[in-house]
């Protein structure tokens, strides 16, 4: 298996239509909801990434029958809490923070302790944020000092609905409590700082009772628990976060254009398109439709020479939380000084992304001013790299890897990026699509 990728600027213009892999957040949710529905659900175009394979393995360990044939996944649920709990099982979530946090919500009634483990990067992440509300609902936990993984969860047959203040803007925490509320009698109330709302849309699509009162910064969510729901047939749209790498690649290349088909265009996911358009991109949406309570459509992007600085409004942060790294590259090429603030959550991802993002820009010769939660990027519209850049020790973070590949392709220089396999946790076709655009690279 390849360890390193070598990028030497070798990019010709391209004009293509492409289809990006299925959405990661929606694929994981479809599996989890399928595991709790009554009967056989079918998920088409499921993402075939490591995070999904690990999610499927864990659900199988909980007694759920799942068949995967190509991108078609069939899942046999036996209703809410229809898991077959066994003694002494452990679940390995691999690199997936989303699966790890969401599954805990569904384990709220496990009669035996279940151990949750993950890879090195996931083990370092904060599970205290989800242990706290789930304890209030009725679960008991054993955890280490840092409240990372491994941890042990023991459920209870006496679970209570809670009023939960989710104040980090974390869709994972919000969704975990939403899933646990399927098991609780009475009404759960979640006051959630805005974040991606795929779980809410699944509730609506599946007819599970939910009410949402929206105001500027907070969504107040009311859920009535213990209502079984029917199986479903869902086609996963393309992942807008994976699209972002190719949108920026096109934007920063010469005389190129790209159409990205059937992309999830949920407003809580495409904050980066708003920001890019404010910076001077002319990204367009076509064929907009609604499916499964979600917006879906095609994205059109063209190369853009004159890009402007941005003062990124923090209220959009949770709508572009996975796209900051790739946006930093655009800021590096934009005219003027860009500012991104209130980024506390960014250092808590698969790697400390704010710090690593700044480090990569500095290696590229771009000046930054970094604080614990903000970055100023001094853009240079003539940015060209001529030196050797080695990217290593990045906690195998898929988004750091893909951002570095795009940087090498658009700014030049001789790049060696280690831990090539990392992109497979979210976007397995990444390198194949690069090749199909006629771009050359070497693996070894």
| Rounded CA separation 27/240 (Å) | 13
Options 171-179, 186-194, 257-265, 403-411: segment touching ligand S3P (CB under 6 A): 171-179
Binding mask 82-111 for ligand S3P (x = CB under 6 A): ----------------x-------------
Which of 302, 318, 401, 394 shows the shortest CA–CA distance to 355? 394
Q: Are 304 and 282 in contact (CB under 8 A)?
A: yes
Rule CB under 6 A: say whether 172 interacts with ligand S3P. yes
Return the axis-axis angle of helices 171-180 and 24-36, rounded to nearest 10°: 10
- Over the Cα atoms of the chain, what is R_g? 21
Number of residues in the chain: 444
Token pair recorded at residue 232 = 């479903």
| Rounded CA separation 299/302 (Å) | 10
**Before 150, cis peptide (omega within 30)?**
yes
Helix (H) or strand (E) segment spanning residue 141:
strand 140-142
In the DSSP assignment, the letter for residue 279 is T
Options 149-157, 165-173, 275-283, 359-367: segment touching ligand S3P (CB under 6 A): 165-173
Quote the least distance from Cβ 427 to ligand S3P, whole Å.
12
Rule CB under 6 A: say whether 171 interacts with ligand S3P. yes
Quote the least distance from Cβ 225 to ligand S3P, whole Å.
20
Question: Residue from 51, 166, 322, 397 that binds ligand S3P (CB under 6 A)?
Answer: 322
Options 51-59, 64-72, 168-176, 431-439: segment touching ligand S3P (CB under 6 A): 168-176
The residue (of 138 and 169) whose beta carbon lies closer to ligand S3P is: 169
The residue (of 322 and 397) whose beta carbon lies closer to ligand S3P is: 322
Rule CB under 6 A: say whether 304 interacts with ligand S3P. no
Options 32-40, 166-174, 277-285, 367-375: segment touching ligand S3P (CB under 6 A): 166-174
The residue (of 258 and 321) whose beta carbon lies closer to ligand S3P is: 321
| Strands 114-117 vs 151-154: parallel, antiparallel or unpaired | antiparallel
322 is catalytic: yes
| Rounded CA separation 187/367 (Å) | 51
The residue (of 307 and 321) whose beta carbon lies closer to ligand S3P is: 321
**Binders of ligand S3P: how many residues, by CB under 6 A?**
11
| Rounded CA separation 321/315 (Å) | 11
CA distances from 214 to 40, 318, 435 (A): 34, 16, 44
Residue with tokens 């002494």: 88
Rule CB under 6 A: say whether 317 interacts with ligand S3P. no
The residue (of 196 and 395) whose beta carbon lies closer to ligand S3P is: 196
Q: Which of residues 189-218 bind ligand S3P (CB under 6 A)?
A: 195-196
CA distances from 328 to 358, 408, 415 (A): 8, 14, 18
Residue with tokens 């604080």: 371
Options 71-79, 167-175, 279-287, 332-340: segment touching ligand S3P (CB under 6 A): 167-175
Quote the least distance from Cβ 230 to ligand S3P, whole Å.
24
Binding mask 326-365 for ligand S3P (x = CB under 6 A): -------------------x--------------------
Torsion angle (degrees, nearest 10) of CA 152, 394, 25, 69 = -90
Question: Residue from 45, 170, 242, 304 that binds ligand S3P (CB under 6 A)?
Answer: 170
Question: Residue from 5, 7, 11, 25 that binds ligand S3P (CB under 6 A)?
Answer: 25
Rule CB under 6 A: say whether 321 interacts with ligand S3P. yes
Rule CB under 6 A: say whether 176 interacts with ligand S3P. no
| Rounded CA separation 265/270 (Å) | 6
Rule CB under 6 A: say whether 50 interacts with ligand S3P. no
The residue of the chain with the least Cβ separation from ligand S3P equals 25
Q: Is 31 left (phi over 0), alpha (psi -120 to 50) or beta?
A: alpha
Q: Are 335 and 309 in contact (CB under 8 A)?
A: yes
Q: Are 254 and 13 in contact (CB under 8 A)?
A: yes
| Marked catalytic residue, from 119, 322, 397, 419 | 322
Quote the least distance from Cβ 195 to ligand S3P, whole Å.
6
Q: How far apart are the first and last CA of the chain?
A: 8
> Which active-site residues does the annotation give?
322
Binding site for ligand S3P (CB under 6 A): 25, 98, 170-172, 175, 195-196, 321-322, 345
């Amino acid at each position: 298996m390849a360890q390193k990728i070598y990028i030497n600027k070798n990019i010709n213009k391209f004009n293509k239509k492409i289809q990006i892999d299925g959405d990661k957040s929606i694929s994981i949710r479809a599996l989890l909801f399928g595991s709790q529905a009554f009967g056989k659900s079918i998920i088409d175009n499921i993402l075939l990434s490591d995070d999904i394979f690990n999610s499927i393995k864990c659900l199988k360990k909980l007694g759920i029958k799942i068949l995967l044939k190509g991108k078609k996944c069939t899942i046999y649920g036996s209703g809410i809490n229809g898991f077959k709990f066994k003694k002494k099982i452990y679940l390995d979530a691999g690199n997936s923070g989303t699966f790890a946090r969401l599954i805990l919500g569904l384990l709220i009634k496990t009669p035996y302790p279940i151990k949750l483990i993950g890879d090195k990067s996931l083990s370092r992440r904060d599970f205290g944020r989800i242990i706290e509300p789930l304890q209030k609902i009725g679960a008991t936990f054993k955890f280490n000092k840092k409240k990372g993984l491994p941890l042990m969860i023991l459920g209870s047959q006496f679970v209570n609905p809670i009023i939960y203040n989710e104040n980090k803007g974390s869709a994972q925490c919000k969704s975990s409590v939403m899933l646990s509320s399927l098991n609780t009698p009475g009404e759960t109330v979640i006051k959630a700082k805005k974040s991606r709302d795929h779980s809410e849309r699944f509730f609506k699509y599946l007819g599970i009772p939910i009410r949402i009162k929206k105001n500027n910064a907070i969504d107040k969510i009311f859920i009535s628990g213990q209502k079984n729901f029917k199986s479903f047939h869902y086609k996963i749209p393309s992942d807008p976060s994976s699209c972002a790498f190719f949108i920026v690649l096109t934007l920063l290349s010469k005389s190129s254009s790209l159409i990205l088909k059937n992309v999830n265009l949920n407003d809580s996911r495409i904050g980066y398109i708003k920001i890019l358009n404010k910076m001077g991109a002319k990204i367009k949406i076509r064929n907009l439709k609604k499916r499964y309570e979600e917006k879906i459509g095609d994205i059109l992007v063209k190369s853009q020479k004159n890009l402007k600085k941005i003062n990124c409004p923090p209220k959009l942060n949770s709508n572009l939380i996975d796209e900051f790294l790739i946006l930093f590259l655009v800021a590096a090429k934009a005219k003027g000084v860009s500012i991104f603030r209130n980024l506390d959550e960014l250092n808590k991802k698969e790697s400390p992304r704010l710090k690593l993002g700044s480090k990569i820009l500095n290696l590229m010769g771009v000046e930054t001013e970094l604080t614990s939660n903000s970055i100023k990027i001094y853009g240079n519209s003539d940015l060209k790299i001529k030196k050797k850049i080695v990217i290593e020790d990045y906690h195998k973070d898929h988004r750091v890897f893909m951002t570095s590949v795009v940087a090498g392709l658009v700014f030049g220089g001789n790049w060696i990026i280690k831990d090539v396999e990392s992109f497979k946790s979210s976007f397995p076709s990444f390198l194949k699509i690069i090749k199909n655009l006629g771009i050359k690279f070497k693996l070894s």
